[in-house]
Amino acid sequence: MLNRRTLLMQTAGFAVTGLGLGKAAAAGLTGIEKASMRGSINATELGVQPGTFDDQSKAFAKLLRDANSRDMPVFLPPGTYVVSNLSLPGRVRLSGVPGATRIVYGGDGHLFMTEQAEHIELSGLVFDGSNRSMGDYAQGLLDLRRVAHLVVDNCQITGSGKNGLALEHAAGRVERSDISGAADAGIYSVEAGGLAITGNTVSDCANGGILVHRWQAAEDGTMVTGNRVERIGAHSGGTGQNGNGINAFRAGNVVISGNVVSDCAFSAIRANSSSNLQISGNTCSRSGETGVYSEFSFEGAVISNNIVDGAANGISIVNFNEGGRMGVCSGNIVRNLSTSGPYAADPPGFGVGIAVEADTVASNNVIENAPLYGMSIGWGPYLRNVVATGNIIRKAGTGIAVSVVEGAGTAVISDNVIDGAPNGAVVGQRWAEPVTSDLTQTSGTGYAHLTVERNRVS
């Protein structure tokens, strides 16, 4: 009787015999031809064997070339593969058993590198740099440059002597992967073109977590969402170049949202010269310096709905002297700040909840335990068009410090609740020096640029 099962069996038999391949002929196929029938190449059938201590770089390179020429994926069974100095061809789809397929760097140069690729897809693999030194030319354990479509999914990258994953001119996504123990940054991307870095864990890296950089200021568009970044050091020193959990540099139109960032030597999230920036919904704990930073020559930064708990300063949207302007700082919780940081602070010092300078609205934030200022508005003459309204400031040395230096621009401070500010609720300052009494207790400020009204002080 002809039923669905017998029909499928007959069809499958025809697919082989119709091509002139009986059972005996099929048994005589080469490894790559067998894999072709299954839809992927099993690496062991082409001489790449797991669990050996011999360097398999030559066999591995041949395997990738063959797969590229046939435009086929490669599967690596569980085990350890020791390789070095592999140059990836234009199309690579390499997968393994998550946590069990280990590609170990043998030293003397680099592990994986590509200079020009159409499609690179790595999934379910462990890349182990064994903390070995790398060549001067290599940027990371995986050094992938000019990749039109990149997928790194469900991988582990550990023990790199430089960056864990170094990307240049890459588009695509890095997701669900664990990157740890890098001697520089966990993920370093420069000149991206539509990249998503999502759902990864980056930890215990010496100089940085996730870095989104450009050589010159321009639109980048990278999305950094839903990652966990923790225990990031600043072993190479500096005053903010290193030690940041997530760092955007000269990269415009970047979205940093929904991340959990903790125990970074400097900032949990730091953006330098990055315009049209969104930093929202992140949880930032125990930062060594400023928790969330938008600094230097940027135009347009929205910093909203974040939690900053434990830092030297909370949130800074500053450097109008360098062109930093236009921001919204709203709906954040900032608390438990410290007067000590990783270096000797410039005036006015550490311990500021939120600092803003130009063309910025700071509203509906809650600030608690800011030992220096709850909010700092302007710095010397670098103040223009700031509105601070609807904020709650509790337990601060000074509630709000605002610049009254000649040349300072408009500031409106209204409808805030300030509770427990022993040095004054709103105080005018010349740079770091307080020069007015509490402006909430006077009938007018005495400064044409400054409006202080309807604040509730207790």
Q: CA torsion sign, 74 to 12 to 33 to 89?
A: negative
Q: Note the pLDDT of residue 53.
A: 79
Q: List, for the chain, all residue ranges whose pLDDT scores fall below the cut of 70.
A: 1-39
d(CA 398, CA 371): 8
Does residue 168 lie within any of the structural domains?
A: no
For residue 6, the 8-state DSSP code is H
Does residue 294 lie within any of the structural domains?
A: no
For residue 272 the two structure tokens come to 């330098």
pLDDT above 90: percentage of residues in the chain: 87
d(CA 223, CA 189): 12
For residue 329, give the nearest of 397, 383, 280 by alpha carbon. 280
Does residue 8 lie within any of the structural domains?
A: yes
**E strand or H helix at 296, and its extent?**
none
Which residues form the domain of 4? 1-31
Q: Note the pLDDT of residue 189.
A: 98
**383, exposed or middle or buried, with CB in 10 Å at 0-12, 13-18, 19+?**
buried
Q: Please, are residues 124 and 94 in contact by the beta-carbon 8 Å criterion?
A: no
Structural domains in the chain (count): 1
**E strand or H helix at 217, and its extent?**
strand 208-219
Q: Which residues contact 183 (CB under 8 A, 6 or more apart)?
A: 131, 160, 161, 162, 205, 206, 207
Does residue 19 lie within any of the structural domains?
A: yes
Does residue 2 lie within any of the structural domains?
A: yes
Q: Note the pLDDT of residue 54.
A: 86
Q: Note the pLDDT of residue 351.
A: 98
Does residue 17 lie within any of the structural domains?
A: yes
Peptide bond into 348 cis (omega under 30): yes
For residue 243, the 8-state DSSP code is -
Does residue 188 lie within any of the structural domains?
A: no
Q: Note the pLDDT of residue 44.
A: 86
pLDDT digits (tens, 9 = 90+) for 255-303: 999 999 999 999 999 999 999 999 999 999 999 999 999 999 999 999 9
Q: Please, are residues 281 and 305 in contact by the beta-carbon 8 Å criterion?
A: yes
Q: Note the pLDDT of residue 52.
A: 81
Mean pLDDT of the chain: 92
For residue 36, the SS3 value is helix
